[in-house]
Amino acid sequence: MPADVERHCEDAARHALFAVCISPLFVASAKMWLRGTNVRLVTVAGFPHGTEVSEVKAEAARRSVEDGADEVDMVMPLGLARAARWDAVERDVAVVRDAIPRATLKVILETGYFDHDAILRAAHAAVSGGADFVKTSTGYGPRGATLEDVTVLARAVGDKAGVKAAGGIRTAAFARLLIGAGASRIGTSNGVALVEEP
């Protein structure tokens, strides 16, 4: 509901959070509510399973950026990734990248579906397609962020991209562990609670 989105934006600004993630439907309104703050506006494309064709994801991302989003978190095509069609995954990312050349693009890998080697391949495909960040999870998959997954991703991307840990992050202590493992961003629906922890 719009009132919930406005409250999320107000909370993010009040607690000086880096960014707030908003449904594409409310990006334009959120941009207005965040005016005059330093909070970045993030939205999603292909959420939560990455099943749309690339051009649909790209158009959704383009429209969101046009509406005011600073960053887009896209879900890679999970079915293609689970079939190890890494060239197709890279192309999917590249189509979205081309649609939003100046916005930050994060690619959600949904690491819970993959073993170590597949996580590496997914990360390489995302970065080769133009991702600025690789992201662990949507929060709807088999598991959220883990220290092991973040460590693997950080090693896979090196200094070519950032790592966003997301999914199941409910305490500041766990967030700090993930940062220590290599996460450069934390995504959580518990941001206010984390910053208010003693």
Catalytic residue among 57, 92, 106, 135: 135
CB atoms near residue 105 (< 10 Å): 24
Catalytic residue among 73, 92, 132, 149: 73
Q: What are the b/e assignments for 32-61, b being 16+ CB within 10 Å?
A: ebbeebebbbbbbbbbebbebebeebbbbb
Run of H or E residues at 8: helix 2-14
Q: Is 6 helix (H, G, I), strand (E, B) or coil?
A: helix
Contact 20, 12 (CB under 8 A): yes
CA distances from 74 to 45, 58, 113, 169, 175 (A): 5, 9, 16, 20, 22
Contact 140, 102 (CB under 8 A): no
Question: Which residue type is seen at 55?
Answer: E
Catalytic residue among 57, 70, 106, 164: 164
For residue 21, give both structure tokens.
């993630």
135 tagged catalytic: yes
73 tagged catalytic: yes
Catalytic residues, by residue number, are 73, 135, 164
